[in-house]
Amino acid sequence: MYLRALGAIALLIVSASSVAARGPYGSVAIGNWSGGAFTNDQTGAFIGCIASANYKSGVTMFVMVSAKTTWNLGFTHNNWTLKPGAAFPIVLTFDGRPPVNVNGRVVSEHTVNVDMPDTSELIRQFRASTTMSAFAEGNLFQFNLDKTGILLPALVNCVATVNRDGIAAARDFVLPQRTPAAAARAAPSGGTGSSLAPAQGPSTPELQLEAMEFASNFILKAALNNARVLSRAETPPTLVSNGAAWQSDDAIGFVRIIPAQAGVKGLDVASAVVANDAKACKGKFASARNSELVDSDVVFRGMSSCEDSERASISQYFILPRKKGGFVLFSVVANLRMGEARNPLREEKNKDFRKAALVAVGP
């Protein structure tokens, strides 16, 4: 009955319809969160993936990613009597930091929904915090945010899997907690990936959080299989000061914040990274550096490959200006068989990566 109610909430959020939803298909079970994929009970169309958690206050909080990869945060209570369609201002506070003001909307007499854009301050703090308070209409509610850093990638994996393979592919969507070590060991000896070189410059929690935000935005937009951002404990020590790491079935990747330095341009960053790759490669090495326009924005790009007789480690680097000065470096490192490395369709995928980097940094 409880999961059926979640299905109804899913329909209300996505289509403003009271038609029933069916699910969950597969599972998202992390800490006190549970859910899965849901479909429209009449048409069978995939609606999205939703997970919820119950609290002693009687409030159920849920997080939903729609089939179009839009995010929603919501609250429901059986004793509420709200006016559907009404605005519902909420003040959210995460880990005691300055409050975030959001405008919720009432989608049923018991349920309030809040849009959570994937580049917003709201989702950034939700992902990185352990506690949250919500103040609305004179009432204060407290929430423990249990394992949200694992929950959000699981919901993205759920949506990506069902969009790609259909509802029949539903399964346990929680991604295994692994490090990129296995992928690094599989690369050719002395392969590419110099974004793993020791970081230079300041190390602050703000830089770490900023890098994790960019990494999360990137994998949301890059259509990678089973992608997730690694926790701080899983991230290589050379990155943890000002960077973040992610992994997927296809590749591993990194995001590094490069603070402003006098006279340093985007192509300088690309050249330095590729030069370090050349020193590390013990096989056949190739590289390129350029700048190009992508959707009217300049993206600096570096590429390097290191080949042995059977495999190639290929790194793509995308360097974008940072709003606060300096640059954001995105890297995608793939370990491929030789035939895959020379597949011309890979360039189409690289275009997707470049656009994903632009979206991740924001306008």
Quick one: pLDDT band at residue 313, thresholds 50, 70, 90? confident
| Rounded CA separation 19/7 (Å) | 10
pLDDT at 278 over 60: yes
Picking from 48-57, 171-180, 276-285, which range would have the lowest pLDDT averaged per residue? 171-180
The pLDDT tens digits for 279-290 are: 777 778 777 777
pLDDT at 192 over 60: no
pLDDT, residue 36, reads: 92
pLDDT at 144 over 70: yes
Picking from 177-186, 314-323, 324-333, which range would have the lowest pLDDT averaged per residue? 177-186
Highest mean pLDDT (candidates 18-22, 131-135, 183-187): 131-135
Quick one: pLDDT band at residue 363, thresholds 50, 70, 90? low
* pTM, rounded to two decimals: 0.56
The pLDDT tens digits for 223-257 are: 777 777 776 667 666 565 667 888 887 778 888 88
pLDDT at 114 over 80: yes
pLDDT, residue 204, reads: 60
3-state secondary structure the chain: CHHHHHHHHHHHHHHCCCCCEEEEEEEEEECCEEEEEEEECCCCCEEEEEEEEECCCCCEEEEEEECCCCEEEEEECCCCCCCCCCEEEEEEEECCCCCEEEEEEEEECCEEEEECCCCCHHHHHHHHCCEEEEEECCEEEEEECCCHHHHHHHHHHHHHHHHHHCHHHCCECCCCCCCCHHHHHHCCCCCCCHHHCCCCCCCCHHHHHHHHHHHHHHHHHCCCCCCEECCCCCCCCCCCCCEEEEECCCCEEEEEEECCCCCCCHHHHHHHHHHHHHHHCCCEEEEEEEEEEECCEEEEEEEEEEECCCEEEEEEEEEEECCCCCEEEEEEEEEEEHHHHCCCCHHHHHHHHHHHHHHHHCC
| Polymer length of the chain | 363
